[in-house]
Chains A and B, each alone.
Chain A
Amino acid sequence: MSMVKYIIRRFVTLLPVLFGVITLTFILSRLMPGDPVAAYLGDRWTNEEYLRVQHLLGLDRPMIEQFFVYLGNLFIGNWGVSVTVNRGAPVWDLVLDRFGRTFDITILSIVISSVIGIKTGVISATNRNNPKDTVLRGTALVGVAVPVFWMGMILRYILGYLIPIFPGLNYKTPGIGDPPIITHFRIIDSILSGQIYLIWDYLYHLVLPVACLSFITLAGIIRQTRSSMLEVLEQDYVRTARAKGCEEKDVINTHALKNAMIPTITVIGLNFGYLLGGAILTESTFNLNGIGALIIVAIINFDYWILNAVVFCITIAFVIVNLCTDLVYGFIDPRIRY
């Protein structure tokens, strides 16, 4: 019960920030020097047509009124109509369709990089100052410094062209069908409609992008796990555990690691925002046709509604992931109460 209260309290404190982000996107999108009405109409239009479309899009009203109408529609799910990207298509469908894919690669790479990163961090801490440790830390540092799109291209060239094991482009084999759209997440849709082979095809195409993305977040996780493990391994309770005759494996995995996890989880949660930025770059490298491609076209063509919706989605996802990390603290460390 206290946890539910905690979640509600967190959401209430987050509301001003969310409101600020929505306001900021609205202001920024209206400051962009473009005319969506003219973009909607194309090359030739008469004055009456212009006024009609302007009225249709709601752009003839005062700015304040536009803002409140937009704010009200945002929470109903009426996110407006795309002007240039896919003329007349509802933004809700357009964004959710793309966002599912971006979210998939982000979550997959977060899971993979945290599993590998925590394991590697523990190995690196227990073999401190060995050659093994140096090699692992060096690899991790290269992971921070490497541009993710460049690494994607190298992987595409080597594993997709020289030794063609993985597909280099796209998220599905051309010609293979789509599952019926229920939740906009391809994996869940495939399970719901019973077409399991679609999942394998999808995951097979995601191997290279996910490998790319998880490599760039690995370094932070390894470093944090290593330093907090080193701190924990000098504590008294670890010595007690060793003295009472625990196996070294148990000492590290149950006594030490659990106590060293909290800073690591903070880093993982913070990495999520960074990963969403990286996902935009990775998508455009691998032509995944996710949210990145959408937002670039939207910004270049001054499509206000798509820009607002995408920023809204990303912010909500970021906020929810941070909330989840806060909740995970409670499972790992029973001393933390909400």
Chain B
Amino acid sequence: MEKKNTQQEIEEEIKSKGKDNIIKKIFSWILKNVKFLLIPASRLEELSIRQIEYEKKISKRKFIRRMKSTLTIFGMLLIFFIVTIAVFAPWFSPYTFDVLVGIAPGNYDPPSPAHLLGQGRLGRDILGRIIYGARASLTIALPSILFSLIFGVIFGVIAGFYGGWADSIIMRIMDILLAFPGLILAMVFIAMWGQHMEYIMLAYGIIGVPYYSRLIRSSVVQSRDLPYVQAAKVTGAGNWRIMFKHILPNCIQPVIISFTFDIGGIILSLAGLAFLGFSDPQLIEWGNDIADARLHLYEAPWGAFWPGFMILLAVLGFMLLGDGLRDALDPRLRNIYGAKKKKRKKGKKEENDSYEKK
């Protein structure tokens, strides 16, 4: 009796959601498809609605509590800072874009009231250039990592699910790409295609693919024979549906964790590539500026210092956030926590007991 009630309620909920406007639909779709990454208990539909709500709150609280370490919040603030100056660069920058790529008097002049952090090559203002530089780093790093994430996940799931020759062909190719030194591969690609922003993105996207596919393949292989996959097969779901609707959501967590780390890593290697001279010279980019200032290091250290400092801040932000996410999501790390954690667990048990009594 109770079960029917809950099913009816759920159906009604879904129907009422369908009547809402498009924005709400999209929002609820995102909520429905993303929240299971953050809230472990959100998919247990045999629970009653009240229980679901209860579990949601508990797991949300648990997640937020774990994320609330000083270092993680510091990392979030850094990311917020970098994203803000990238988005609102024209407002923050003391000079316009055209001035910053033009020529002005004062080659590598020391800091002055007009140029707070000094001047770089061809008299360009360093403060303005490091603010605009955030744009280039983020706009190259994010698409390329999304490219490698999407293709890596697709290949990894196919290889892990089908096994056999598909697995061995895909993984051998990935092994070869992994054994190839990444920096040199990127340089060869860029020399082959030309120094444009899109090609740099593509080169970095290709380099990241084997890493993700290997990561997700190992967890897909583990969960391929679990009961829920067999249940899905019995109900008549096709292979693609099982792969991307049933297995993928349960295996994506390690990818999400390493994704945050890798944004930082990609910003770092892009800067390195630009430092070696393999970058779009038209862009305002931190690595480019450091490479230019290298020859004037002893007379004008500010030319190299500030862009590198911005790289450090951006990468540190993503790394700290990744560290916090890993601590909050990785189940293997939970037993490492100290006595504080155990107290919390006890508290939770008591709450559960009291709920059952009610």
Residues of A participating in the B interface, judged by any CB pair closer than 8 Å: 16-18, 20-21, 24-25, 28-29, 31-33, 128-129, 138, 141-142, 144-151, 153-154, 156-157, 161, 227, 230-231, 234, 273, 276-277, 280-281, 284-285, 292, 295-296, 299-300, 302, 307, 310-311, 314-315, 318-319
Q: Are A277 and B188 in contact (CB under 8 A)?
A: no
Q: A154-B305, A231-B335 are in contact. List 16 more A-B contacts (CB 8 A).
A: A25-B180, A31-B192, A145-B315, A147-B268, A147-B271, A147-B272, A147-B275, A149-B290, A153-B297, A227-B336, A273-B181, A280-B184, A281-B272, A295-B184, A299-B187, A300-B191
- Chain A residues whose CB sits within 8 angstroms of the CB of B181 once the complex forms: 273, 276-277, 311, 314-315, 318
Q: Are A150 and B312 in contact (CB under 8 A)?
A: yes
Interface string of B267-278 (1 = CB under 8 A from A): 011011001110
Q: Are A145 and B294 in contact (CB under 8 A)?
A: no
Give the distance to chain A from B184, nearest Cβ to Cβ, in Å. Answer: 6
The chain A residue with its CB closest to the CB of B264 is A145
Q: Are B305 and A147 in contact (CB under 8 A)?
A: no
B103 within 8 A of partner (CB)? no
Partner of A284, one of B192, B275, B308, B311: B275
Q: Are A285 and B294 in contact (CB under 8 A)?
A: yes
Q: Are A307 and B333 in contact (CB under 8 A)?
A: no
- Chain B residues whose CB sits within 8 angstroms of the CB of A280 once the complex forms: 183-184, 276
Give the distance to chain B from A274, nearest Cβ to Cβ, in Å. Answer: 9
- Chain B residues whose CB sits within 8 angstroms of the CB of A295 once the complex forms: 184, 187
Q: Are B175 and A20 in contact (CB under 8 A)?
A: yes
Interface of A is mostly: helix
Q: Are B179 and A318 in contact (CB under 8 A)?
A: yes
The chain A residue with its CB closest to the CB of B301 is A157
Q: Are A17 and B176 in contact (CB under 8 A)?
A: yes
The chain A residue with its CB closest to the CB of B316 is A145
The chain B residue with its CB closest to the CB of A160 is B298
Q: Are A147 and B316 in contact (CB under 8 A)?
A: no
The chain A residue with its CB closest to the CB of B323 is A141
Known: A21-B179, A150-B311, A319-B179. A157 touches B298 (CB 8 A): yes
- Chain B residues whose CB sits within 8 angstroms of the CB of A148 once the complex forms: 272
B110 within 8 A of partner (CB)? no
The chain B residue with its CB closest to the CB of A291 is B184
Q: Are B184 and A32 in contact (CB under 8 A)?
A: no
The chain A residue with its CB closest to the CB of B313 is A145
Known: A31-B192, A153-B290, A231-B336. A144 touches B184 (CB 8 A): no
Q: Are B191 and A32 in contact (CB under 8 A)?
A: yes
Q: Are B172 and A17 in contact (CB under 8 A)?
A: yes
Most buried by A among B175, B276, B320: B276
Give the distance to chain B from A283, nearest Cβ to Cβ, in Å. Answer: 10
Q: Are B276 and A33 in contact (CB under 8 A)?
A: no
State how many residues of chain B have any CB contact under 8 Å with chain A. 45
Q: Are B304 and A281 in contact (CB under 8 A)?
A: no
- Chain B residues whose CB sits within 8 angstroms of the CB of A146 once the complex forms: 312, 315
A310 CA to B268 CA, complexed, in Å:
23
Give the distance to chain B from A27, nearest Cβ to Cβ, in Å. Answer: 11
The chain B residue with its CB closest to the CB of A315 is B179
Partner of A32, one of B177, B188, B319: B188
30 residue pairs bridging A and B, Cβ less than 8 Å apart: A16-B172, A20-B176, A20-B179, A24-B177, A28-B192, A31-B192, A32-B191, A128-B338, A141-B71, A141-B319, A142-B316, A144-B315, A147-B272, A149-B272, A149-B275, A150-B290, A154-B308, A227-B336, A231-B336, A277-B182, A280-B183, A280-B184, A280-B276, A281-B272, A281-B275, A281-B276, A284-B276, A310-B184, A311-B184, A318-B179
Q: Are A21 and B180 in contact (CB under 8 A)?
A: yes
Closest 10 A/B residue pairs (Cβ): A150-B308, A20-B176, A145-B315, A145-B316, A277-B183, A299-B191, A314-B181, A230-B336, A147-B311, A281-B272
The chain B residue with its CB closest to the CB of A279 is B183
Interface of B is mostly: helix
Give the distance to chain B from A171, nearest Cβ to Cβ, in Å. Answer: 18
Interface string of B253-293 (1 = CB under 8 A from A): 00000000000100011011001110000000001001000
A148 CA to B312 CA, complexed, in Å:
10
The chain B residue with its CB closest to the CB of A128 is B338
Known: A17-B175, A21-B180, A150-B312. A141 touches B188 (CB 8 A): no
Q: Are B276 and A296 in contact (CB under 8 A)?
A: yes
Partner of A296, one of B277, B305, B319, B338: B277
The chain B residue with its CB closest to the CB of A34 is B191
A24 CA to B268 CA, complexed, in Å:
26
Give the distance to chain A from B8, nearest Cβ to Cβ, in Å. Answer: 48
A121 CA to B179 CA, complexed, in Å:
29
Q: Are B179 and A145 in contact (CB under 8 A)?
A: no
A153 CA to B307 CA, complexed, in Å:
12
- Chain A residues whose CB sits within 8 angstroms of the CB of B336 once the complex forms: 227, 230-231
Q: Are A315 and B187 in contact (CB under 8 A)?
A: no
A156 CA to B297 CA, complexed, in Å:
9
- Chain A residues whose CB sits within 8 angstroms of the CB of B175 once the complex forms: 17, 20
Give the distance to chain B from A42, nearest Cβ to Cβ, in Å. Answer: 21
Give the distance to chain A from B259, nearest Cβ to Cβ, in Å. Answer: 16
- Chain A residues whose CB sits within 8 angstroms of the CB of B71 once the complex forms: 138, 141
Most buried by B among A29, A128, A145, A310: A145
The chain B residue with its CB closest to the CB of A32 is B192
Q: Are A150 and B179 in contact (CB under 8 A)?
A: no
Give the distance to chain B from A170, nearest Cβ to Cβ, in Å. Answer: 15
Give the distance to chain B from A233, nearest Cβ to Cβ, in Å. Answer: 10
A17 CA to B287 CA, complexed, in Å:
33
A314 CA to B185 CA, complexed, in Å:
12
- Chain B residues whose CB sits within 8 angstroms of the CB of A231 once the complex forms: 335-336
Q: Are A153 and B172 in contact (CB under 8 A)?
A: no
- Chain B residues whose CB sits within 8 angstroms of the CB of A284 once the complex forms: 275-276
Q: Are A28 and B188 in contact (CB under 8 A)?
A: yes
- Chain A residues whose CB sits within 8 angstroms of the CB of B183 once the complex forms: 277, 280-281
A133 CA to B288 CA, complexed, in Å:
36
A281 CA to B179 CA, complexed, in Å:
19
- Chain A residues whose CB sits within 8 angstroms of the CB of B173 once the complex forms: 20
Q: Are A144 and B319 in contact (CB under 8 A)?
A: yes
- Chain B residues whose CB sits within 8 angstroms of the CB of A276 once the complex forms: 181
Give the distance to chain B from A6, nearest Cβ to Cβ, in Å. Answer: 19
- Chain A residues whose CB sits within 8 angstroms of the CB of B307 once the complex forms: 150
The chain A residue with its CB closest to the CB of B173 is A20
A6 CA to B148 CA, complexed, in Å:
35
